[in-house]
Amino acid sequence: MAMPVLVDTAMLQKTPAEPKPTRLVTDLDLSTGAIERLLELAGRMKRTPLRYAQSLAGRYLALLFEKPSLRTRLTFELAIKQLGGDAVNYAGHINGREPVKDVARNLDRWTQGIVARVFSHTTIEELAAWTHIPVINALSDLYHPCQILADIQTLEEHYGRLEGLKLAFIGDGNNVAHSLMLTAGRLGVHVAVATPAGYEPNAAIAEQASKAGRITITHDPAEALAGAHAVYTDVWTSMGQESESAVRLAAFQPYQVDAAMFAQARPDAIFMHCLPAHRGEEVTEEVIESPRSVVFDQAENRLHAQKALLLTLLSS
Ligand code: CP
Ligand code: NVA
């Protein structure tokens, strides 16, 4: 009978010089080595979940969500519970009643970790600055690192490798695009982002990503799609940008991933989307429902990748 896993030795550092990750506020908080080990662990946790059923016994996390969520919130709650821990939830503005630094120092006394979805990235930076416990970014206006851990797990499962793949991201240069550039780019995936003028990724993040990986930023979807193994898109109006939605709807129309656009990638390319999807906007029903769509594999892997993340950050 397989022994339950409390501390997974395969997760421990191969190079003693590299410190154990302590947080995931931006993608760069995980080194490439840490991400590779996390992917390996996520695969093992997916295959043999019961071995890890007591790994976080007695650990309590706070889930703070300023914005709506289906996948992130439920998969974190499930992940924590399936690892033997528990979670408490708070929905609403984190600084609604008191300063973020006070919220942070309360949670620091009660819990062993914070998972936070915030409007402004500075809120999560502040939570991390005022606590000693791991803080996990469950989406901010700038990054969505947990999504991308599941995405690279999905890509690797599909292709058996990451190095040498090309991923075309078509649409808004948003939080998901930023994290794809930073995480997938560092693991050897050529990330090609095609956006309308004025909606390019944040220039400082693009520069950071370009230092560590192969990144293309263009206004021409055809350039991004040529030779792509995966075509990824996301909503045109992210949470918090609702007042811009009419302008965005018009600006992004030529960037809809329909069958003709999908056909410009490799013939066996997969379609990816973090969800929720707006059919008839960034993607057509035909493409998202096609046999080459892996959107529910991505959604499933949110659970496994986040379990691996929790164990990486919280195991002593
Ligand atoms: N992909 C994603 O983060 O989904 P939710 O907004 O439902 O959490
Ligand atoms: N870019 C989207 C992602 C949702 C998971 C948003 O921020 O709303």
Tens digits of per-residue pLDDT, 122-134? 999 999 999 999 9
Which architecture characterizes domain 147-296 according to CATH? 3-Layer(aba) Sandwich (3.40)
Residue 175 has pLDDT above 70, yes or no: yes
Ligand 1 binding pocket (C-beta < 6 A) is 69-72, 139, 147, 274-276
Do 60 and 88 form a contact (C-beta atoms < 8 A)? yes
Ligand 2 center from residue 163 Cα (angstroms): 26
Does ligand 2 have an atom closer than 6 angstroms to the CB of 298?
A: no
pLDDT at res. 205: 98
The yes-or-no answer on residue 274 being catalytic is: yes
Tell me which residue has its CA closest to atom 6 in ligand 2: 238
What per-residue confidence (pLDDT) applies to 19? 83
pLDDT for the residue 18: 79
234-253: pLDDT as tens digits: 999 999 999 999 999 999 99
Tell me how far the alpha carbon of residue 175 lies from the centroid of ligand 2, in angstroms: 7
The DSSP 8-state label assigned to residue 182 in this structure reads I
Nearest CA to ligand 1 atom 1: 274
217 three-state secondary structure: strand
pLDDT in tens, 24-55: 999 999 999 999 999 999 999 999 999 999 99
- Asked if residue 315 has pLDDT above 90, the reply is no
Ligand nearest to the CA of 119: 2
Residue 147 falls in the annotated catalytic set: yes
What integer pLDDT is reported at residue 17 of this predicted model?
A: 66
Predicted model pTM: 0.95
Instruction: Examine the pLDDT at 14 and tell me if it is beyond 70.
Output: no
The token duo for 94 is: 């984190």
CA 261, CA 225: separation in Å to the nearest integer?
8
Burial group, residue 96, by CB count within 10 angstroms (0-12, 13-18, 19+)? exposed
Of the residues 66, 71, 144, which should be mutated to test ligand 1's pocket, given the most ligand atoms within 8 Å of the CB? Answer: 71
Mean pLDDT, the chain, whole residue set? 95
Distance in Å, CA 139 to ligand 2 centroid: 8
- Which two tokens mark 232? 């990824």
| Cβ–ligand 2 contact at 172 (below 6 Å) | no
pLDDT in tens, 87-114: 999 999 999 899 999 999 999 999 999 9
Specify the pLDDT at position 301: 98
Q: How far is residue 62's CA from residue 268's CA, in Å, rounded to a whole number? A: 41
Distance CA 127, CA 134 (A): 10
Contact between residue 312 and residue 41 where contact means Cβ atoms under 8 Å apart: yes
**Which residue intervals of the chain bear CATH 3.40.50.1370?**
27-144+300-314, 147-296
Centre of ligand 1 from the C-alpha of residue 276, in Å: 6
- Give dist(CA 76, CA 79) in Å, integer: 5
| Residue 225 clears pLDDT 70, i.e. is over it | yes
pLDDT for the residue 1:
44
Helices (H), 92-237: 100-110, 121-129, 145-159, 175-179, 185-186, 203-212, 221-225
238 Cβ below 6 A of ligand 2: yes
Give domain 27-144+300-314's CATH superfamily.
Aspartate/ornithine carbamoyltransferase (3.40.50.1370)
* Residue 23 is among the residues annotated as catalytic for this protein: no
For residue 141, the CA-to-ligand 2 centroid distance in Å is: 8
Query: Catalytic residue among 23, 73, 117, 229, which?
Result: 117
The DSSP secondary-structure symbol of 283 reads B
